Structure 1
Amino acid sequence: MKQIIVGVGGIVIKDNRVLLVRHTYGQFKGKWIIPGGHVEAGENIDDAVLREIKEETSIETHVKNIVSIRSILLPDGNSEIYIVFLLDYVSGRPTPDGIENDATAFFDIDKVIDDENVVYLSRYLIKKVLTHNYNKLSPDPFYPFSNFNYKLFC
């Protein structure tokens, strides 16, 4: 049975430095990437990105807006949707989870965008944020259905 996989990532900037994690598995093993993961059943996308950032880095954040949405039809017929958020740093010290990543730190944002050790998509989106060259989708207080956990970004 074909699946739709929904993932989230978070760009966290603090004092002109961006939060990255070093992956321990898959095609990006040993590379630096923005933190993130999969949306779990019963979870909104914004709650998922806050949870993933906290789990992977011990950093508390707040959703600012959506930076991008990527959609891929995989060779196996599954679909993958990846939503990247810009997040405000709230508190915490970068600490790797020791499972999905073995290191996490804030890096000088100007150096990251040209660093080949950082995954290309992460560099591309960080540059978009740095140059303010993206359409911002922000949380909107519009809630027409009080009996649902309804969230709108526009």
Structure 2
Amino acid sequence: MLRIAARVPDHGKLVPWRFIIIGGPERAVFTERLMEIWRSRNEAASEQMAEVERSKRDGAPLVVAVVSRAAEHPKIPVWEQQLSAGAVCLNLLHAAHAAGYAAQWLTGWPAYDAEVARLLGLKEGERIAGFIHIGTPAEAPVERDRPDLDSIVVRWVG
């Protein structure tokens, strides 16, 4: 799946992203650390609120953190490098689904939190593009509404 995920447009072959695999016994440890950080920022939160937060982080046995490491370059804009990291996230979702797994691309507060970045060992300038949660589907996902193409597609006529 990672090989498929890594097969994305990458102007200049910079590989402006990397993977952090969070699975096995470390998966539960990671969730506990996230919950410690969350509780430190939400001291007045009820136990019910904490359980809702935990359920967002604790559903899948494997999480792949896709890290964007876009950097200034004389020929390749940072924006293109960031888009490449986003394409990695989407390819990983497609690869997991094609292999029969359920997968979800999440960000939320952990993707933007400095303490979580330190926990994961992110370097200066690195950012979380997404946490890809991968597991066995418990049930078929409910299809959500998609945009009406007529409202977002125009033909350029010069």
TM-score normalised to structure 1 length:
0.26
Of structures 1 and 2, the one with the larger relative CO (CA 8 A, separation 6+) is 2
Structure possessing the higher radius of gyration over alpha carbons: 2
TM-score normalised to structure 2 length:
0.26
Higher fraction of helix: 2
